[in-house]
Amino acid sequence: MKQIVTMILIAAGLLAHGQKGVPNDFTGNFSQHNLKVEWVKDYDCRIPMEKVVENLKMSGLVAQPQTGEGTVYGALAPLMIDYRKAGATAMGVKPYISQMKYTGQVIIRKTEFGYTVTMKKIVTEMDTDMVFMGAHTKGMTYNFEDWAIDRNGNWKKTFMGKPAYTLDFAFGDLLTEVLDCE
């Protein structure tokens, strides 16, 4: 009887999360070229670059942001994805979303209509300690490409759809606050 109840609860958890309607081929603002994945999004914001730099410093999103001509860039501070904001549940997300910290490079460029944000060289680091075949996994790092694309440069089915939506939403949400966009 306990097994039946457990199976029903697991099935309900997988089916009942809030990301209904996400197409199975959704990749959002992720793109890939030469087996490297980037997240690129344009924002229509009219705030001055100085305010973007100030917001970025205050957010702690980028440790020691550097500025160039019309650009601010730096290393993404390790962050956990807030998958719940995207409407997902713990049972409905992949472990590379719920149990990993994300780092990488963030570049914010001023454009004619606002800003373009690029995240590249994305790396995931296991945040929880699990034992797998006798080895502890906490602190193990993986290139994001391992989760998103296969060795031929095709999007993995396990990435497209809801996982891509969750990450796309989370990255976009973080940077919307920094750029003070609505």
State pLDDT tens for residues 158-176. 999 999 999 999 999 988 8
Instruction: Give pTM, 2 decimals.
Output: 0.81
C-alpha 128: how far from chain center: 17
43-81 tens-digit pLDDT:
998 899 999 999 999 999 998 899 999 999 999 999 998
pLDDT score, position 17: 42
Helix pair angle (162-179, 49-59), 10° resolution: 120
Mean pLDDT across the chain, nearest whole number? 84
CA atoms within a 13 Å half-sphere pointing along the CA-CB vector of 142? 17
> Domain 2-179 belongs to what topology?
Alpha-D-Glucose-1,6-Bisphosphate; Chain A, domain 4 (3.30.530)
